[in-house]
Amino acid sequence: MQMEGKVAVVTGGAAGIGQATAQKLCELGARVAILDRNAEAAQATIAALEKSGHTASFYRCDVTVESEVKAAMAAAVAHYGALHILVSNAGIQRYGDVVTTTSALWDETMDVHVRGCFHATKYAIPAMLASGGGAIVVVASVQSFTAINNSVAYVAAKHALLGITRSIALDFASQNIRANCVCPGAIETPMLRETAEQTGSPEKMLESIGRMHALGRIGRPDEVANAIAFLASDDASFITGTSLIVDGGLLVPTGGMGFQESGIGTGEKV
Ligand SMILES: NC(=O)c1ccc[n+]([C@@H]2O[C@H](COP(=O)([O-])OP(=O)(O)OC[C@H]3O[C@@H](n4cnc5c(N)ncnc54)[C@H](O)[C@@H]3O)[C@@H](O)[C@H]2O)c1
């Protein structure tokens, strides 16, 4: 993989998976623009990238606000003169079942994930077309295929991202634009840490989340960034409209790892 001469936009690039992705794309030679609503975290990320000799810039925007995404995308494209890669990654985690979820929380969750992806792709694609084509990677989730309890808005939003990605793949294939999802399991980021901190024993929770994965641990942001970089690169030139699950085997075991660990559920191995 190499990305010399490529320009990439990463939404939510100030922290976690987005930050690791910005770094990976920089290491491969791309010039990277971070779009994020957290200016402080983004500036720190840019400073760290520049310190290690990379070219990166920051454009503040809330992905839920169309005018802000339009302006940020335009500024990034004007700065670098092209756009070849979009990583639509900005996201939030919210909890509730269909009864306890308020309309406001539903809207907030759907807005960041679904409307945010809609805005980012809507304003990235014309710039990609003007640059001769490109690749879009949408960060979805294992919850694009399955559900965990008490997370209806998040689960619905992540399912919707598969549909957006497939539609883009179909609508723009003939114009040299590919679109794919990366679907992570639990990854060690500020988002996961925040969730763990909401429980009485965060370390215990993180340990038990790790054991849900066949590989026996939580993933690292750079392990997701590697998959994103692959799908964004020319090495994935015949891959579009699909999903790459990066979950340490989380979705593999029927009945979950707890069931596997205790044999057939009786505590006996067969
Ligand atoms: N961490 C996990 O376990 C995990 C698992 C599966 C999927 N994901 C998905 O990966 C993506 C990144 O998650 P993460 O764990 O790195 O999260 P994170 O909270 O660590 O980082 C998210 C980044 O997105 C930015 N952001 C959030 N809302 C925004 C908005 N409205 N406008 C602009 N920027 C915004 C934040 O400022 C932050 O920089 C999300 O889409 C998340 O749903 C995460």
Q: What is the pLDDT of residues 102-125, one digit of tens each?
A: 999 999 999 999 999 999 999 999
* C-alpha separations of 201 from 41, 136, 198, 219 in Å: 27, 38, 9, 20
Task: Please report the domains of the chain, with CATH numbers, ordered by start residue.
Answer: 7-189+220-252 (3.40.50.720)
CB 249 within 8 A of CB 211: no
Q: Is 219 near ligand 1, meaning CB less than 6 Å away?
A: no
Helix-then-strand count for the chain, H and E = 10, 7
**What's the average model confidence in pLDDT over 184-196?**
96
Compute the distance between CA of residue 126 and CA of residue 124 in angstroms, rounded to an integer: 6
**165 in Cβ contact with 214 (< 8 Å):** no
Ligand 1: residue of 10, 11, 17 to mutate (most ligand atoms within 8 A of CB) is 17
Q: Ligand 1 centroid vs 221 CA: distance in angstroms?
A: 11
Dist CA 11 CA 60 (whole Å)? 10
Q: pLDDT value at position 63?
A: 99
pTM metric for this prediction:
0.97
Ligand 1: atom nearest CA of 112 is 31
DSSP-based three-state secondary structure for 180? strand
pLDDT at residue 80 tops 70: yes
pLDDT given at position 262? 74
pLDDT above 90 covers what percent of the chain? 92
CB of 134 sitting under 6 A from ligand 1: no
Backbone dihedral angles phi then psi of residue 93, each to the nearest 5 degrees: -110, 125
Largest CA distance in the chain: 64
Distance CA 54, CA 27 (A): 7
In sequence order, what are the residues at sequence separation of 6 or more whose Cβ sits closer than 8 angstroms to the Cβ of residue 126? none
Q: Is the CB of 28 under 6 A from ligand 1?
A: no
- Which residue has its alpha carbon closest to ligand 1 atom 23? 12
59 is catalytic: no
Distance (angstroms) between ligand 1 centre and the Cα of 1 equals 25
Burial state string for 190-199 with b = 16 or more CB within 10 A and e = fewer than 16: ebbeebbeee
pLDDT value at residue 270: 62
Cα–Cα distance measured from residue 93 to residue 76, given in angstroms and rounded to the nearest whole number: 27
Residues contacting 99, CB < 8 A, separation 6+: none
CB distance 36 to ligand 1 below 6 Å: yes
Q: State mean pLDDT over 78-83.
A: 98
Backbone dihedral angles phi then psi of residue 244, each to the nearest 5 degrees: -110, 115
Whether residue 73 has pLDDT greater than 70: yes
62 lines ligand 1 (CB under 6 A): yes
**Atom of ligand 1 at shortest range from CA of 90:** 24
Q: Are 24 and 52 in contact (CB under 8 A)?
A: no
State the residue for tokens 């990379």: 54
Q: Of ligand 1's atoms, which has the minimum distance to the CA of residue 219? A: 3
Distance CA 88, CA 85 (A): 10
Cβ(133)–Cβ(85) under 8 Å?
A: no
**Ligand 1 site, residue 38, Cβ cutoff 6 A:** yes
